[in-house]
Amino acid sequence: MEKTHSCTIVKKTMLCPDTYDFVVNFPQEPKPGQFVHISCGEGVMLRRPMSVCDYFDNNLRFSFAVRGKGTKLLAQHSVGDKLDILGPLGTNFGVDKKGDGVSLVIGGGIGIFPLFYTAKFLGEKTEAILGFRTKDLVIMEDDFNAVCSKTHIVTDDGSYNCAGLVTDIFKERLQKGDITSVYTCGPRGMMKAVAEIAAENDIFCEVSLEERMGCGIGSCAVCVCKIKGKYLKVCQNGPIFNAREVDFDE
Amino acid sequence: MNNLDMSVNIAGISLKNPIVTASGTFGNGWEISRYYDLSELGAVTSKAITLSPKQGNPPPRIAETDSGVLNSVGLQNSGIEFFLKYDLPNLRRYDTKVIANISGNTIEENCEIAKRLGGEVDFIELNISCPNVKQGGVAFGTDPRIVYDITGRVREHCSVPLIVKLSPNVTDIVEIAVAAQKGGANALSLINTLLGMKIDVNTRKPILANNTGGLSGPAVKPVAVRMVWQVAKNVDLPIIGMGGIMSGEDAAEFILAGASAVAVGTANLVTPTAALDIKKQFVQYLVKNKIKNVKDIIGAVIAN
């Protein structure tokens, strides 16, 4: 039988203002792209889904930005505290479908977290294209540099590296003709643009979707998104979907 | 504990214990059965079944509120045919009673679904209280004449006891319960969710795509306990009580108010093992209070 895990926080760091990085003891090895469902503490009922950012030596890393009551409460936990965690849950990125060429992980803002763990599975020919609003929000550059052959960083306002969008770099990078797969996570508009470019160039592309979630295991059917005209559950049928099948405008 | 009698009776059918799952929070058991043996429960309730598959409402469908949860799923399900072919045979593998929650758009649809279920399930729970659909749902459940009519007509097509699930979005719950009883209901479930709303004050937009949704969880529990108590005093039908049950003591509260069984709903969204945990805590409550037979405390509140 599956069960929830009582996990001790072993490390807590702040990545940038209001964005935290936790490492907890965790007994089950996740697949890249999967998520865990975390109880934030007394006063908040529903768990909050967090993408797996990394897994090593029975330690699970997840990172999150403080956005509401749940994440605020979660951020107040310290090293040594216990967290009630359900998972790993959901589908995984098809890293076995990466092809013979270069794989790209394309992320925006706090959407980059699942891509780090995924990049580790994709191997040395992987490149990252990461976009952030501004310099102060640029995070995990060293992490991605360590596992990717190249890490391209852009900011909306040009305060760090060049100004632009991840799709600008993506289009530029396509010129070489060696890209065979794309894995993306970030704001919906960004993922839609990435998916369109990948489709135009006939490149395998998977996206990690997000939706307000309830149970996390597929029982309550609240976290749906439209896939090929049908509502599917992000927690159970996803969070990873083939980009071509997602109805981004629904 | 060996001489503890946990069994209860709902409309002539014995449940081995009074802990049930509430419709829509448990899927059709596939997922939660990976966390514990469903045979631990007195009964399980299916997700609402409609005649044809139903897409449900656009997301977001959920918002957390203080001590509560708003949802507007809109009865997404695969329809009666799929339920009979796949979900029900799977549920039948467990030693537990099966309650089929039905929610047709029209009275005729409900009759048709009841007919197709035949004697394959242990109970039919008629949902006349969903606040998230335009047709059927709560539109049926707020007018006593309609409640009487729909209960009577669906009852004619049921081969098993009919439970009518009531909406709390009414002025007088007793009036509705009496109408269901007169219509031929064999048991009552209460309460469904309370119609609610949450607005993001910065974007000025409601959180739910459907604007409004059904409120559940601890926030509604006092309302639910009060309604169970009022109905139990005035209607001679077994009641399945529900509304924010998160612990064994919450379950006891509903039973003292007059419920013969209790359904765990929102708690299933918090932890997959919630219903099992609540059952264990309820046993502890019975032991602690030296109660040997659950039936002894049904409606045993000492009211002022």
Q: Which residues of B touch A218 (CB under 8 A)?
A: 27, 30-31
- Which helix (H) or strand (E) segment is B21 a member of? strand B19-21
Task: List, for chain A, all residue ranges whose pLDDT scores fall below the cut of 70.
Answer: none
A46 and B73 in contact by Cβ < 8 A?
A: no
Lookup result for tokens 């058991």: B29
Among B203, B205, B270, B277, most A C-beta atoms within 10 A, so best to mutate, is B270
Q: Quick check: A61 and A22 in contact, CB under 8 A? A: yes
Name the nearest CA neighbour of A88 among A2, A169, A177, A165.
A2
Residue in B with minimal Cα distance to A4: B271
**CATH fold of B8-57+74-194+216-297, please?**
TIM Barrel (3.20.20)
* d(C-alpha B234, C-alpha B255), whole Å: 16
Question: How far, in whole angstroms, is CA B213 from its chain's centroid?
Answer: 17
Contacts of A25 (CB under 8 A, 6+ apart): A7, A8, A10, A58, A59, A60
pLDDT value for B2: 61
The whole-angstrom distance between A177's CA and the closest CA on chain B is 38
Output the average pLDDT for chain B.
97
Instruction: Give the strand pairing for B239-242 and B187-190.
Output: parallel
Residue of B nearest to A216 (CA): B269
pLDDT digits (tens, 9 = 90+) for B155-208: 999 999 999 999 999 999 999 999 999 999 999 999 999 999 999 999 999 999
Cβ–Cβ < 8 Å for A129, A190? no
* Phi-psi domain of A203 (left: phi exceeds 0; alpha: psi -120 through 50; beta: other): beta
Whether B269 and A219 lie within 8 Å, measured CB to CB = yes
Residues in B 1-40 with any Cβ partner in A closer than 8 A: 24-27, 30-32, 34-37
**CB atoms B62 and A3 under 8 Å:** no
Rg, chain B, Cα only:
18
Residue B3 has what pLDDT? 83
DSSP A30-95: PPTT-EEEE---TT--S-EEEE--EEETTEEEEEEE--SHHHHHHHT--TT-EEEEEEEES----G
Chain-chain contact of B76 with A44 (C-beta, under 8 angstroms): no
Residues of B in contact with A222 (CB under 8 A): 59-62, 71, 73
Pairwise CB contact (< 8 Å): B32 & A217: yes
Q: Looking at the partner chain, which of A86, A214, A221 has a beta carbon nearest the beta carbon of B56? A: A221
Q: What is the CATH number of domain A95-208?
A: 3.40.50.80
* Nearest-angstrom CA–CA distance, A114 and A22: 14
* B272/A4 Cβ within 8 A: yes
Q: Is B130 a known active-site residue?
A: yes
Judging by DSSP bridges, how do beta strands A204-208 and A240-242 pair with one another? antiparallel
Is the backbone peptide bond immediately before B191 cis, with ω within 30 degrees of 0? yes
| Helix, strand, coil share (%) of chain B residues, nearest 5 | 35, 20, 45
Cβ pair B36:A1 closer than 8 A: yes
Element (H or E) spanning B226, and its range? Answer: helix B221-234
ipTM exceeding the 0.90 mark: yes
- Closest by Cα among A202, A198, A162 to A183: A198
Nearest by CB to residue A219, choosing from B26, B36, B207, is: B26
Whole-number pLDDT of residue A141? 97
Q: Are B214 and B72 in contact (CB under 8 A)?
A: yes
With contacts defined as CB-CB under 8 Å, which chain A residues touch B271?
Answer: 4, 39, 84, 86
Do B270 and A217 lie within an 8 Å CB cutoff?
no
**Strand runs (DSSP E) across B53-184, as ranges?**
62-65, 68-71, 97-102, 123-127, 162-165
Of A84, A219, A231, the CB nearest to B32: A219
Tell me if B228 sits within 8 A of B80, measured CB to CB. no
d(CA A242, CA B167) in angstroms, rounded, equals 41
Q: Compute CA distances A26 → A54, A119, A215, B222, whole Å.
A: 11, 21, 20, 38
Residue B59 — φ and ψ, nearest 5°?
A: -80, 165
∠ CA B129-B132-B137, nearest 5°, is: 30
CA dihedral for A48, A35, B47, B232, sign (positive or negative):
negative
CATH number of A5-89: 2.40.30.10
Q: Which of B130, B179, B190, B219 is catalytic?
A: B130
d(CA A182, CA A200): 13
Q: How far apart are CA B168 and CA A8, in angstroms?
A: 42
Q: Which residue of A has its CA nearest to B72?
A: A222
Q: Where are the domains of chain B?
A: 8-57+74-194+216-297
Residue linked to tokens 């060996």: B2
How confident is residue B132, by pLDDT bands cut at 50, 70 and 90?
confident
Contact B169, B131 (CB under 8 A): yes
Among the partner residues B24, B37, B56, nearest to A231 by beta-carbon distance: B56
Query: Distances from the Cα of B269 to the Cαs of B92, B168, B191, B255, in angstroms?
Result: 23, 21, 18, 23
CB A115 within 8 A of CB A105: yes
The domain locations on chain A are 5-89, 95-208
DSSP helix/strand/coil, B168: coil
Token readout for B98 is 């099966």
pLDDT for B295 beyond 80: yes
Residues of A in contact with B24 (CB under 8 A): 220-221
* DSSP conformation class of B85: I
Q: What mean pLDDT comes out for the span B210-238? A: 98
Residue of B271, B273, B277 to mutate for A, most A C-beta atoms under 10 A: B271
Do you know the residue count of chain A? Answer: 250
Cβ-defined contact of B61 to A215 (cutoff 8 Å): no
Of B31-35, B95-99, B127-131, the least confident? B127-131
For the four alpha carbons of B203, B207, B209 and B212, in that order, the dihedral sign comes to: negative
For tokens 């309302």, name the residue. B223
Whole-angstrom distance, CA of residue B10 vs CA of residue A240? 44
pLDDT at B1 over 90: no
List, for residues A39-77, the tens digit of each pLDDT value. 999 999 999 999 999 999 999 999 999 999 999 999 999
Between A84, A212, A250, which is nearest B63 by CB?
A: A212
Average pLDDT over residues B46-72: 97
Report whether pLDDT(B83) > 90. Answer: yes
Topology match between the domains A5-89 and A95-208? no
